[in-house]
């Protein structure tokens, strides 16, 4: 029997047994296909979500479901906006239903402990809706013993560790961390082969007005699409943040899904 933690690498029968015999936690990574500047790949968000989910699954004996790679619309003031080439977003209603359908299918085949690990800020409230609607509809089907855990992985980082990881730097605030130190350092640590440090932009922080306009005004966002610079990101800073985040995810799963 394969012990891979990746659902896609398991046969249906191995997957079935892991659910039936071990009541395995099924982790669902959720991200986006979104520009992250010149130095990070379009898949940054779903790659990070999947990395975190895999590390947590290895620690708790869980299974990582196929990731939700497309995400909710990138917004100018949090993700650089929808105008950059390659930022391929779903309409909110599509996203809510897509995630809900996946959650319900996992439950229909026996998953009772489901953990959604999200790495794209704009997914946040839509995921709440997907989780809520999935549990409500499962109850209509008399499946009332499913618990869904949902976490934005960035929330697992403590202020103390962030201060250590940003030593000598100014933290620009979470809203400006799109393609900045946080994601760049995590990618250097988790996927070094996908980061091109020779292309890290060093632009001024954008000054956003306290409102939005539609259609969006691309001039609000620096040319690269990054909202702050990842110039001083290093593997060490990434390691500090990743290891704490993985640890918090694992402990949170153990708290919410006590395994006997
Ligand atoms: Zn991102």
Does any domain span residue 39?
Answer: yes
Q: Please, are residues 181 and 233 in contact by the beta-carbon 8 Å criterion?
A: yes
Burial of 156 (0-12, 13-18, 19+ CB in 10 A): buried
Q: Annotated catalytic, 39?
A: no
Does any domain span residue 166?
Answer: yes
pLDDT of the residue at 204: 87
- Number of domains the chain contains: 1
Spatial CA neighbour of 65 closest among 121, 134, 18, 130? 18
pLDDT of the residue at 51: 98
Q: Annotated catalytic, 34?
A: yes
Does any domain span residue 192?
Answer: yes
Which residue in the list 118, 122, 177, 244 is annotated as catalytic?
A: 122
Beta strands, E only, the chain:
26-30, 63-64, 113-118, 147-152
Per-residue pLDDT tens digits for 82-130: 999 999 999 999 999 999 999 999 999 999 999 999 999 999 999 999 9
Cα-to-centroid distance, 224 and ligand 1 (Å)? 14
Q: Annotated catalytic, 118?
A: no
Which residue in the list 39, 45, 118, 177 is annotated as catalytic?
A: 45
pTM over 0.75: yes
Cα-to-centroid distance, 22 and ligand 1 (Å)? 33
Cα-to-centroid distance, 183 and ligand 1 (Å)? 6
Q: Collapsing DSSP states into helix, strand and coil, what is residue 6?
A: strand
Spatial CA neighbour of 186 closest among 204, 203, 161? 161
140 alpha carbon, distance to own chain's centre? 29
**CATH number of the domain within which 15 lies:** 3.40.50.10310
Cα-to-centroid distance, 139 and ligand 1 (Å)? 34
Q: Annotated catalytic, 45?
A: yes
Q: Collapsing DSSP states into helix, strand and coil, what is residue 26?
A: strand
CA distances from 213 to 92, 204, 218 (A): 18, 22, 11
Give the span between the Cα atoms of 1 and 118, in whole angstroms.
29
The yes-or-no verdict on residue 217 having pLDDT over 80 is yes
Does any domain span residue 82?
Answer: yes
Q: Collapsing DSSP states into helix, strand and coil, what is residue 86?
A: coil
Which residue in the list 118, 120, 177, 244 is annotated as catalytic?
A: 120
Range of the domain at 80: 7-256
Per-residue pLDDT tens digits for 221-247: 999 999 999 999 999 999 999 999 999
Average pLDDT of the residues in 69-82: 93
Does any domain span residue 187?
Answer: yes
Q: Annotated catalytic, 122?
A: yes
């Amino acid at each position: 029997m394969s012990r891979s933690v990746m659902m896609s690498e398991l046969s249906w029968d191995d997957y079935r047994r892991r659910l039936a015999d071990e009541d395995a936690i099924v982790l669902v990574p959720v991200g986006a296909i979104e520009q992250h500047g010149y130095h990070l790949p379009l898949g940054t968000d779903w790659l990070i979500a999947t990395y975190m989910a895999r590390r947590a699954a290895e620690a708790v004996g869980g299974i990582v479901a196929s990731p939700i790679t497309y995400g909710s619309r990138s917004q100018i003031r949090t993700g650089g906006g929808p105008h950059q080439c390659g930022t391929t977003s779903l309409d909110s209603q599509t996203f809510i239903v897509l995630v809900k359908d996946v959650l319900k299918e996992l439950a229909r085949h026996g998953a009772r402990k489901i953990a959604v690990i999200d790495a794209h800020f704009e997914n946040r409230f839509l995921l709440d809706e997907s989780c809520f609607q999935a549990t409500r509809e499962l109850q209509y089907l008399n499946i009332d013993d499913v618990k869904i855990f949902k976490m934005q992985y960035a929330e697992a980082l403590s202020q103390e560790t962030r201060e250590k990881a940003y030593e000598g730097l100014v933290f620009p605030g979470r809203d400006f961390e799109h393609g900045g130190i946080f994601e760049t350092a995590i990618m250097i640590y988790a996927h070094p082969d996908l980061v091109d440090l020779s292309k890290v932009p060093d632009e001024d922080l954008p000054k956003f007005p306290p409102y939005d306009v539609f259609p969006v005004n691309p001039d609000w966002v620096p040319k690269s699409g990054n909202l702050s610079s990842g110039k001083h990101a290093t593997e060490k800073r990434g390691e500090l943040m990743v290891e704490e985040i993985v640890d918090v995810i694992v402990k949170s799963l153990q708290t919410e899904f006590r395994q006997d």
